[in-house]
Amino acid sequence: MKTNEIIPRLNEVFRDVFGDSSISVTEKTTADDIEDWDSLAHISLVAAVEAEFGLRFKMREVSAMKNVGDMINLIAERGR
């Protein structure tokens, strides 16, 4: 799966989870860039991304994610 296929789908997930249709993520997007992205929202986001792409992240993978680019890389490796 390629980045240009992943980002539009991630945008929809982010918009749904955060209830904000103006969100547009990039590889450099972090929790600091989205106002309501706190630890509780992070759990919902991870679950929604897993559902969208048909995969399960390992806890160490989630902990290691520093930005959306890290998430994209994992999805590109294993997602559908």
Alpha-carbon distance of 44 to 35, in angstroms, equals 15
Share of the chain above pLDDT 90, in %: 91
Alpha-carbon distance of 35 to 79, in angstroms, equals 27
Question: What is the per-residue pLDDT across 25-53, written as a single tens digit (0 to 9) for each?
Answer: 999 999 999 999 999 999 999 999 999 99
pTM of the complete model: 0.92
Whole-number pLDDT of residue 30: 96
Choose the weakest-confidence range: 48-57, 59-68, 71-80.
71-80
**What number of CA atoms fall less than 13 Å from residue 53's CA on the CB side?**
29
Whole-number pLDDT of residue 79: 67
Which structure tokens are listed for 42? Answer: 């992070």
Q: Band the pLDDT of 80: cuts 50, 70, 90.
A: low
Domain ranges of the chain: 3-78
| Cβ atoms within 10 Å, residue 21 | 10
What CATH superfamily classification does 3-78 receive? ACP-like (1.10.1200.10)
